[in-house]
Amino acid sequence: MVMRVAMAVMVWALASTSWAQEAPERLLPRGSQVYLRWDGVATHREAFKKTAVGKMLQGDMGRFFTGLGDYLEKLVDAFVAAENPQAADMLKELPRTLSAIGKHGFRLGIEVKNLSPPDIEGMLIFPKSGKTDGGILALVRKAAALAGAEVQETKKGKRTIHSIDTPVVKLVWWSEGDDAVIAVGTRSVDELAKKTNKDCTSNPLYLHLKEFKEFSTWADGFVDVAGLAKVAGAAGPDVARLVDDLGLKGLKSITFHSGFDGPAEHSVLLFDMPGPRKGLLKLANQRKINLADLPPMPADLSYFAASNLDLVTLYDGVLVAVEGAVRLFAPEQANMVKQGLQAVEGAVGVKLRDDLLGSLGDLMVSYRSPADGPLGLGAVYLIKMKNQKKFADSLDSLIKAAATVPFVEVSTRKNAYRGADIHGVYFGVGGASFHVFDYTMHKGWLGLSFYPQPLQGYVLRTAGDLPAWKPSAALARRLQEFPKEFVGISVSDPRPSLKLVLSLAPTLVSFLNSMTTFVAPGTQFDVNLIPNAHEATRHLFPNITVITDDGKRVRVETKSSLPLPF
């Protein structure tokens, strides 16, 4: 029994050592300040199938994407092949190449050694994609030929190195065993293709990534902010001063981990801030908030986000960044930034930092609902107010001053609504007037929106005339997996937006088919392939992100079904 256990341990150790020696990271620069790993689907297929996206792709949505690929290939034949056969061949190859990358993923490493003169190396490794007669390397070769670039081919041992040498950057690619390697940088082709000074597996931040044990990951990465700040500071005293003023010396690194948690994609983003926070890092305010601090939001809420953003601190950070940028390119004019602001403030009679932004609190909330407007058009932004009268007076002075600008007319129109005043802001040029946005100051909050109707809904909810959002039982259970107090939170439901897009898709596709009938017969997309909106979204659920801050590290944790831009 003991002998069998010992043999098993030896086999496991030898296999682990062999894997570590053959890991794709062995070819990445050891000093990489940026690193990203994505395993692809192949080694995590069973876990991926259990996720909401995995289940969705096993249904009609998967059939839709297959049909979409065939349709795009027909379009290439109809509109590109006759004019440029090389481009058509490359475009047809692209989906297959992306599919292969999706199976086995990639590794990315970027090392910046110097800014002046620039000394930068970036390298992409595509595991199990090293075939020279197909895949990513063949696609790169076809793209180079299509661009008319001169590709050089050299032999280095058993490797065949392809390269494009320009005065500014060099592009190199080759096959390393089963892996495809693409390198780009300012160094010579020979240096980019060398194996020396590689092996990112000994990088301290890479080793730190491997210590993460909260859940199994299929992707991770890091940004060595301290290393990049050191390189930037070496570029000159003005750059070093800017790095220090922005507070970047207080941010050591950013690390990222992503994996699966049943139906959810689970990710953790960590900002390591062991040093004192100054500049932009002061935005990381540790004041905790909870759901009870939020204003009444729509009952059909599809998205909301809340954070303790301090606009005064943001103003200070942006001002430092602008002054630093001016100091780099026009040192003699650096002092004119503040002088210019003081002149503007004197002319309008408002101190932007103290009077306007200083009248606002440090709690900001945004939300969207389908009834207020599709795809974010009805978004509402609310900022807690500390001194409503002072802010109103300052804003009124700014608008009056803007109205004196030549050739541009700025005006506001006040509309009374259920005990609140909603102000519409209009810009006019050449006699034409355009509505820009609306705002209201009501119940201790400044509200902003593109149209008055979403703000009307806010006013009605504060009076109790409309129902306010409460988390459903399912969402409440999922929120229990996160801390009850935090410095930021967002909840977004991808289902309403996806349902809207899918409900409009048949009409849009039918219209496009009628247009292409005359120019490219036989290239129509089959409307039957568009999935039913309810079927496609039945596995989805709201995405949750919670941000916490313990004084040394900011943690952004997300559990999502399908992140969407809207």
pLDDT tens track for 400-445: 888 787 777 888 999 999 999 999 999 887 777 889 999 999 999 9
3-class DSSP state of 161:
strand
99 phi and psi angles, rounded to 5 deg: -65, -40
CATH numbers and ranges of domains, the chain? 25-40+105-201 (3.40.1000), 285-472 (no CATH)
Question: Checking DSSP bridges between strand 409-417 and strand 488-492, what pairing results, if any?
Answer: unpaired
Rounded (10°) angle between helices 237-245 and 311-329: 180
Of 313, 388, 321, 315, the closest CA to residue 352 belongs to 315
pLDDT at 565: 65
Q: What are the tokens at 550?
A: 């313990």
Distance CA 325, CA 329 (A): 7
Of 484, 490, 385, the closest CA to residue 439 belongs to 385
> Do residues 449 and 383 touch, judged by C-beta distance below 8 A?
no
For residues 270 and 100, the model is more confident at 270
Report, as an integer, the average pLDDT of 227-255.
90
Q: Which amino acid is at 153?
A: E
Say how many C-beta atoms besides its own lie within 10 A of residue 24's C-beta: 26
> Residue 546: is its pLDDT beyond 80?
yes
pLDDT at 288: 94
Q: Which residues contact 86 (CB under 8 A, 6 or more apart)?
A: 142, 145, 146
Q: What are the tokens at 359?
A: 């009248």
pLDDT at 139: 87
pLDDT at 467: 96
Give pLDDT tens digits for 1-31. 333 333 333 333 333 333 333 578 888 998 9
Q: What are the tokens at 389?
A: 């009268």
Question: What predicted TM-score, i.e. pTM, was given to this entire model?
Answer: 0.89
- pLDDT tier at 455 (50, 70, 90 boundaries)? very high
Supply the DSSP symbol for 353.
Answer: I
- pLDDT tier at 325 (50, 70, 90 boundaries)? confident
**Cα end-to-end distance, the chain, whole Å:** 59
- pLDDT tier at 286 (50, 70, 90 boundaries)? confident
- pLDDT tier at 147 (50, 70, 90 boundaries)? confident
Q: Which residues contact 535 (CB under 8 A, 6 or more apart)?
A: 59, 60
For residues 456 and 16, the model is more confident at 456
Among 26-35, 72-81, 123-132, the least confident range: 72-81
Give pLDDT tens digits for 506-541. 999 999 999 888 877 888 899 999 999 999 999 999
Angle CA 512–565–434, to nearest 5: 75
